[in-house]
Amino acid sequence: MQFTKLRLSGFKSFVDNTELLVEPGMTGVVGPNGCGKSNLVEALRWAMGETSAKKMRGEDMDDVIFGGTATRPARNICEVTLVLDNASKTAPPPFNDFDELEVTRRLERGSGSDYRINGKLVRARDVQILFADNASGASSPALVSQGRVGALINAKPGDRRQLLEEAAGISGLHARKHEAELR
């Protein structure tokens, strides 16, 4: 699976519909302070199922919705879509047969999030499991926030093992095994 596009609407400073193409070889996003670089990375993390408002640099999850400026009113809905190329058919079942996957998270002020994969309503858990094996996901070690390097060095052995399992691509297996046992 490969990220190919990120679409944002009403998410933080991205009030207007915005589409970012993630082309092969893209290595960075540059721009002046406050232009929204960190917001983009947060949108990626949010669409993959992040549930911590703190990790979104907010007090409440609704804080990710465009809060308005001196000239533009606040929004009540935000939506982020991640488009994934799955030509390699490496997405875990039941999504392995699709050539392309569109993962959408939508939030309405005061009424929580819903998630869709290719238009079909799914659980947050389904989205988290979709990403769990691909060194991606909301808590992926590939997304390094400030302070994270120090945290890895000081991590307890169990937490460090989890990071290694993610890197090795087996944490999704544990998550799916746990899901199967619950059914």
Return residues touching Mg ion (CB under 5 A): 37-38
**Residues near 113 by Cβ (< 8 Å), separated by ≥ 6?**
61, 105, 106, 107, 124
Instruction: Supply the minimum distance, in Å, between the C-beta of residue 103 and ligand ATP.
Output: 21
Residue type (1 letter), 111:
S
Could you say which of 1, 6, 9, 39 contacts ligand ATP (CB under 6 A)? 39
Burial of residue 45 (number of CB atoms within 10 Å: 0-12, 13-18, 19+): buried
Instruction: Supply the minimum distance, in Å, between the C-beta of residue 152 and Mg ion.
Output: 20
Q: Based on the shown chain and the rule CB under 6 A, indicate whether residue 144 belongs to the binding site for ligand ATP.
A: no
Sign (positive or negative) of CA dihedral 12, 18, 19, 20: negative
Q: Give the number of other Cβ atoms within 10 Å of residue 167's Cβ.
A: 13
Q: Based on the shown chain and the rule CB under 6 A, indicate whether residue 36 belongs to the binding site for ligand ATP.
A: yes
Could you say which of 19, 60, 63, 179 contacts ligand ATP (CB under 6 A)? 63
Could you say which of 24, 28, 34, 94 contacts ligand ATP (CB under 6 A)? 34
Nearer to ligand ATP, 2 or 51 (CB): 51
Q: Give the number of other Cβ atoms within 10 Å of residue 99's Cβ.
A: 10
Region from 30-38, 100-108, 142-150, 174-182 binding ligand ATP, contact rule CB under 6 A: 30-38
CB contact at 8 A, 93 and 130: no
Q: DSSP character for 141?
A: T
Could you say which of 12, 49, 107, 136 contacts ligand ATP (CB under 6 A)? 12
